[in-house]
Amino acid sequence: MPRVLIFFLLLVALTLPLHATVVTASFTGYVTTVNGTPGVSVGDAIHFTYSYDTTQSGYYDTTFGYTMYSLPTFDLSVDALSLTTYPYGQLRVCNDCWGPVDYLEFLTAAGNPPTGQWIQYLWFLRDYSATVFSNENLPESAPNIADYTPHDNQIVIQSFDPSGGVIWEIYGTVPVTTPEPASLTLMVVGLLGLVSLKQRR
């Protein structure tokens, strides 16, 4: 089989997953501030995973000006703390909000019946140049944190009682990520293909 055809087939095979309708991503951040949370320290790892189908329709909130989508999978954990989350949450996308600002927020909440407390989890990213989004459609890939200036992203975990009073809270951040593995693989295959074509010539 000609090398050019092999290269083309590999390129197609690697491109198909990038255009899948389901987006699943995992991030790891770290704790930056602790207010009254037992057993948690600055620098502890925070992990979370989410998944959604890009074909779903959103709900536009006229009060706050963003579009909301469901997250059928949302899980967040802190290495030093036992947390239970709902298996779903919300994704909020806001184009040219508040200034204007492009705003992305992942959030969910969970109840803790024995104590009567609730815990809220959210991760938000803001771009003050308002150049990340041009609409409020669901993002078709995981966010590139480097696109949000000045890398403004924050994780917030709060425990509060039914009356709304905050009992403890954790703040964290996610470091700027490197290119996703699929993109790197595609780039490597492309370079190998160019080398192969050059050798043939």
| pLDDT of 36 above 60 | yes
Residue type, 162: P
pLDDT value, residue 20: 57
- Do the Cβ atoms of 56 and 138 come closer than 8 Å? yes
Number of domains observed in the structure of the chain:
1
Tell me, yes or no, whether 183 lies in a domain. no
pLDDT value, residue 184: 46
For 59-67, what is the mean pLDDT?
92
Tell me, yes or no, whether 101 lies in a domain. yes
| pLDDT of 32 above 90 | yes
Tell me, yes or no, whether 50 lies in a domain. yes
In the structure encoding, which two tokens stand for residue 87, read together?
């298996």
Tell me, yes or no, whether 34 lies in a domain. yes
Tell me, yes or no, whether 79 lies in a domain. yes
Q: Is residue 13 classed as helix, strand or coil in its secondary structure?
A: helix
pLDDT value, residue 199: 55
Share above pLDDT 90 across residues of the chain, in percent, rounded to a whole number = 42
| pLDDT of 97 above 80 | yes
Task: Give the β-pairing of 59-61 and 66-71.
Answer: antiparallel
For 89-104, what is the mean pLDDT?
91
| pLDDT of 7 above 70 | no
Tell me, yes or no, whether 198 lies in a domain. no
| pLDDT of 181 above 50 | no
In the structure encoding, which two tokens stand for residue 6, read together?
């092999």
Residue 58 phi, psi (nearest 5): -105, 170
| pLDDT of 190 above 70 | no
User: What residues does 156 pair with on adjacent strands?
Assistant: 122, 171
Tell me, yes or no, whether 185 lies in a domain. no
* pLDDT, tens only, 134-165: 999 999 999 999 888 766 899 999 888 877 68
- Do the Cβ atoms of 67 and 58 come closer than 8 Å? yes
Q: Which residue has the higher pLDDT, 169 or 189?
A: 169
Q: Residue 64 belongs to what domain range?
A: 22-177
pLDDT value, residue 29: 94
pLDDT band at 86 (very low <50, low <70, confident <90, very high): confident
Sign of the torsion formed by the C-alpha atoms of 77, 82, 84 and 90: negative
Q: How far is CA 200 from CA 6, 7, 190, 193, in A?
A: 14, 13, 16, 11
pLDDT value, residue 77: 86
Dist. CA 141–CA 114, nearest whole Å: 38
pLDDT value, residue 11: 45
Q: Which residue has the higher pLDDT, 110 or 34?
A: 34
Tell me, yes or no, whether 197 lies in a domain. no
